[in-house]
Amino acid sequence: MCWTHQVNRTVFWAMIMRGFYCILKKSQFANNSRITFNPKGQLTRGDLQFTKEGLIVNVQWSKTSQKHSEIHQIPLKRIDDCVLCPVLTYSIMVKMLQALPHAPAFGLPTVNGKICAFSKADIDKMLNDILVRCNMDTNQYSFHSLQRGCATCASAAGCTDSDICTIGNWVSSCYRSYIKHTTDKLYYISDKVGQYCKQSSS
């Protein structure tokens, strides 16, 4: 595998992990074109800071804070011996691809040594390519699926509504529509309803 291709994969994997664990939108990584990157709207290298416990992501823009009135901080804890560790993936990327604090947090190297920001179309294409290689239905998944996936995993892991709203920076419980319950969970709900109906009718 050539160095450029390896960098591309590493950068995209690190970005996917950020999108998942931080429940971020595609617009917080990229703009409509590569040349319209906005450091006040999209993540820069300076927005991500390593700590003793892991990593802190400082989100300057979100749906609930469009005037940059406050920074939404998302701490990510290091997960030892885990390929899905959000800190490990970013650490590998940073060592592989150096960048200045004001540069796009996730992008590709150019011939002059700078970082070229992704466009939203770039992200869609890279995600589509991965789905195709994994024999997954490209019509069923998008970058937005990362938000749905994290909300679902957080709920299954026992996180409270408040926990999930805090990470996603949501002011309401609208995230509940993102959660996709497993078949076992739905069987459990059906059984609970059935048992209640049985007891009520006896």
Answer whether residue 112 is part of any domain: yes
- Identify the band that residue 134 occupies on the pLDDT scale cut at 50, 70 and 90: very high
Answer whether residue 134 is part of any domain: yes
Answer whether residue 19 is part of any domain: yes
- Identify the band that residue 187 occupies on the pLDDT scale cut at 50, 70 and 90: low
SS3 of residue 114 by DSSP? coil
Answer whether residue 7 is part of any domain: yes
Q: Is 90 exceeded by the pLDDT of residue 171?
A: no
Q: Is 90 exceeded by the pLDDT of residue 33?
A: yes
- Domain interval for residue 103: 3-143
Which DSSP letter does residue 113 get? S
Give the total number of structural domains in the chain.
1
CATH number at residue 23: 1.10.443.10
Q: Look-up: residue for tokens 């992200």?
A: 123
- Identify the band that residue 15 occupies on the pLDDT scale cut at 50, 70 and 90: very high
Supply the pTM of this predicted model.
0.81
Cα separations (Å) of 64 from 9, 11, 93, 120, 165? 31, 27, 29, 21, 12
Q: What is the pLDDT of residue 174?
A: 63
Answer whether residue 172 is part of any domain: no
Answer whether residue 101 is part of any domain: yes
Answer whether residue 91 is part of any domain: yes
pLDDT digits (tens, 9 = 90+) for 135-162: 999 999 999 999 888 888 888 888 887 7
Q: What is the pLDDT of residue 64?
A: 55
Answer whether residue 82 is part of any domain: yes
